[in-house]
Chains A and B, each alone.
Chain A
């Protein structure tokens, strides 16, 4: 009896196909360029901004002074014991992310995530050196020759310079930028500065230049988490298949508006086909909308075959009804709740900022022993005191002690300064 030959199991691994997004023009692309310029500008320029705080403090506007355990942000100075400000800002950042995801899907991923921004910048350089999609595909497939070596060398050199500038800008946030820049060039900076800079440069080079969409698909947890913040009213990018299908040649009876030109696929930095439906790899960057609108203009069809659409709108449109207004999607209980929490924490932090004093005190009673009986019978307690002078000039401080005790043992509500109330006089002890 013969047994049929077992077919080999299907491969579970597929090598990555490089993606070469085509250039596109349109509203969302323009918006992305502006945001890219703004965010990169803020990142690279901020360490070089100066802010005069007087003679005893650094003049860098934004400085994470780890050596002196201080965070400077323009006129605001945060001390280690005021870390709740940083915690509050992180909570606000998280809530802000929830708010934007709930209202408009993965706008963070599509427009503001560093991975997206630097990948966009690297693709811009790539396109400038190697040409648009078809030229880059051709170069990718051709064997190594002088032209390919030259173009790749120029591209990688520019990527490397960008990556070094990115790592360099990061370390400038932690110490005086002009001084560190001079030291880095002279080779006299601290090894930690070089190490940090090179690690960040290497990750920027690898993630922005080569890994690209794989970081979003395989490494980033956010695509998995974001579903919890989205509901049927969240705006995401969708293909109006009831209008576009069946796709095919224009002018053929029965065909929809989609002419299957693949423009939406060719511009996608994630390499996906939005017509397959909502998918985890989509970062909702909107470039497929721009590409499709451009094609619709050319073939004389109405724009919006691909667009920002909520699930509830899809149902309404399929029934021939008008979609809800954008504002009805944006202002709903979930987003109002996120906004209220976000604003509440923000207001709380601002109030705390204005109410804080320029001096800060911690007092800890010494408990071993709790008291000492002196030779004259008096009782002495010791307290460890930590006093922070947050002013930018030397100051005098007066330490005094008051106690409360019942006057006669009958009225516990009576409060007064006890007979042993102490006050250091003169009030300028030399040790302070």
Chain B
């Protein structure tokens, strides 16, 4: 990702048919962003965002 930039993206999360998350109304989930660094230097930051996965009862 370019330096000093803001990226907008859509993230698609899929729960397999019949799985608990697919059947339940709501499931807590967390999206993690991990800084992998540059080609020369590994990253150190890891950021989490808690959100909800809506199942088919939702």
Chain A residues at the B interface, C-beta cutoff of 8 Å? 56-57, 68, 70, 357-363, 365-366, 370-371, 373-374, 376-406, 418-420, 422, 427-428, 431-432
Contacts and interface: CB of A to CB of B under 8 A. Distances in A.
Most central of B11, B36, B47, B58 by chain A CB within 10 Å:
B11
A379 B12 CA distance: 10
Given A377-B18, A389-B5, A418-B27, A399 B33 contact: yes
Given A357-B47, A381-B53, 9 more contacts: A360-B47, A361-B31, A366-B10, A378-B15, A382-B10, A383-B13, A384-B10, A386-B8, A389-B5
Nearest to A407: B20
A357 B11 contact: no
Contacts, number: 185
A225 to B, nearest CB: 40
B15 A420 contact: yes
A402 B51 CA distance: 10
Nearest to B18: A377
B51 to A, nearest CB: 5
Given A379-B22, A381-B13, A405-B21, A399 B4 contact: no
B41 to A, nearest CB: 9
Nearest to B36: A396
A85 B18 CA distance: 47
B17 A387 contact: no
26 contacts: A70-B4, A361-B49, A362-B49, A371-B54, A378-B14, A378-B15, A382-B12, A384-B8, A384-B9, A385-B8, A386-B7, A391-B3, A392-B3, A394-B2, A394-B3, A395-B43, A397-B1, A398-B36, A399-B11, A399-B31, A399-B33, A403-B27, A404-B30, A418-B19, A419-B20, A420-B16
Interface of B: 1-22, 24, 27-38, 43, 45, 47, 49, 51-56, 58
A56 to B, nearest CB: 5
A60 to B, nearest CB: 15
A380 B11 CA distance: 10
A355 to B, nearest CB: 12
B53 to A, nearest CB: 5
Contacts of B16: 378, 420
Contacts of B27: 403-405, 418
A403 B1 contact: no
B4 A389 contact: yes
Most central of B4, B14, B27 by chain A CB within 10 Å:
B4
A403 B9 CA distance: 20
A198 to B, nearest CB: 33
Given A359-B45, A378-B22, A386 B6 contact: yes
Nearest to B32: A400
B12 A397 contact: no
Q: Which 10 A-B pairs have the closest CB atoms?
A: A377-B17, A396-B36, A403-B29, A363-B49, A370-B54, A398-B34, A379-B22, A383-B11, A380-B14, A387-B7
Given A385-B8, A401-B29, A405-B21, A371 B1 contact: no
Nearest to A55: B3
Contacts of A385: 7-11, 31
Given A371-B56, A396-B1, A432-B7, A403 B12 contact: no
Given A382-B10, A382-B11, A420-B15, A358 B54 contact: no
A418 B21 contact: yes
Most central of A70, A392, A402, A428 by chain B CB within 10 Å:
A402
A129 to B, nearest CB: 49
A398 B18 CA distance: 28
A51 to B, nearest CB: 15
Contacts of A387: 1, 6-7, 9, 33
Contacts of A359: 33, 35, 45, 47
Nearest to B22: A379
Given A359-B47, A363-B49, A395 B11 contact: no
Contact of B1 (A362, A395, A422): A395
